C-alpha cells in the first residue's frame, strides 16, 4: 500500500512541477488541496471502529500523506518550479520502470531497484529535515562503496531511522549489537553473509569493537 501511494505521489509531483515550469502557477496549490481532501477522508476512516491491523495500516497511510502534504506546502513557499529542482530530487522517489516491470527508487544521484522484501504491517516513521539529511548522506556513502555512521545521543532514533530507510528500498536489514567480544572472524562472517544476500546492516555500538 505504501509503495503504491509513493508511486502515485511521485508521478503526480513530476506532472504538477512540469505544469508549473510551463507557466501554470496554481498547479501546486490545486494539488495541495487534493492531498488535504484525501487526508480528511483517511481521518474519517480512522475515526471508525477498525481492527488492530487495519488501524496500524490507516495510521501509516495518514503519516505518509501528512509528510507528502507538508512537502508540497514547502514547495509552494520555496517557489519550486521544476521537476529537476534539488528540493525534489533530494527526496526519496519511487517510479515504475515499464521496460523491466520493476519499481525504481532514487534519491539525489543514487538509484537502485526496489528489493521487494516483505516488510509487514509495521507502521512508519515521521520524516524530518534531519532524517532527509541522514538519508542523503547514507545513500551517497553507498554510491561511493563506503559505509555511513549516524552520530547522536542514545535513544534519538539512529537505528530506527536507518531501519525505516531500508524498508523504503524493500531491502533485508539486520541489526547487530556489537561488544568488545566481537573478533575479526565474527566481522568477516557478518560481511560475507551481507555481501551474498545484498542486505543492509546496522552495527549498533560499533565503537565497542576493539
User: How much is the pTM?
Assistant: 0.88
Summarize pLDDT for 79-112 with one digit per residue, the tens: 999 999 999 999 999 999 877 778 999 999 999 9
Q: Which residues pair with 102 in a beta bridge?
A: 97
Nearest-Å Rg of the Cα atoms of the chain is 19
- Rounded to an integer, what distance in angstroms lies between the CA atom of residue 123 and that of residue 30? 29
Summarize pLDDT for 19-70 with one digit per residue, the tens: 999 989 899 999 999 999 999 999 999 999 999 999 999 999 999 999 999 9
Amino acid at each position: 500500500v505504501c509503495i503504491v501511494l509513493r508511486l502515485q505521489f511521485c508521478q503526480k509531483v513530476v506532472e504538477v512541477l512540469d505544469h508549473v515550469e510551463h507557466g501554470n502557477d496554481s498547479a501546486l496549490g490545486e494539488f495541495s488541496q487534493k492531498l488535504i481532501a484525501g487526508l480528511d477522508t483517511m481521518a474519517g476512516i480512522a475515526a471508525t471502529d477498525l481492527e488492530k491491523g487495519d488501524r496500524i495500516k490507516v495510521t501509516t497511510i495518514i503519516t505518509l500523506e501528512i509528510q507528502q502534504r507538508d512537502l508540497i506546502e514547502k514547495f509552494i513557499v520555496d517557489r519550486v518550479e521544476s521537476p529537476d529542482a534539488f528540493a525534489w530530487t533530494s527526496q526519496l522517489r519511487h517510479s515504475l520502470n515499464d521496460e523491466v516491470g520493476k519499481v525504481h527508487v532514487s534519491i539525489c544521484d543514487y538509484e537502485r531497484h526496489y528489493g521487494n522484501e516483505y516488510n509487514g504491517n509495521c507502521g512508519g516513521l515521521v520524516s524530518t529535515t534531519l532524517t532527509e539529511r541522514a538519508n542523503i548522506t547514507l545513500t551517497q556513502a553507498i554510491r561511493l562503496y563506503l559505509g555511513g555512521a549516524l552520530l547522536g545521543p542514545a535513544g534519538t532514533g539512529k537505528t530506527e531511522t536507518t531501519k525505516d530507510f531500508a524498508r523504503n528500498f524493500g531491502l533485508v536489514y539486520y541489526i547487530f549489537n556489537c561488544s568488545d567480544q566481537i573478533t575479526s572472524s565474527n566481522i568477516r562472517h557478518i560481511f560475507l553473509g551481507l555481501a551474498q544476500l545484498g542486505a543492509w546492516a546496522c552495527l549498533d555500538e560499533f565503537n565497542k569493537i576493539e
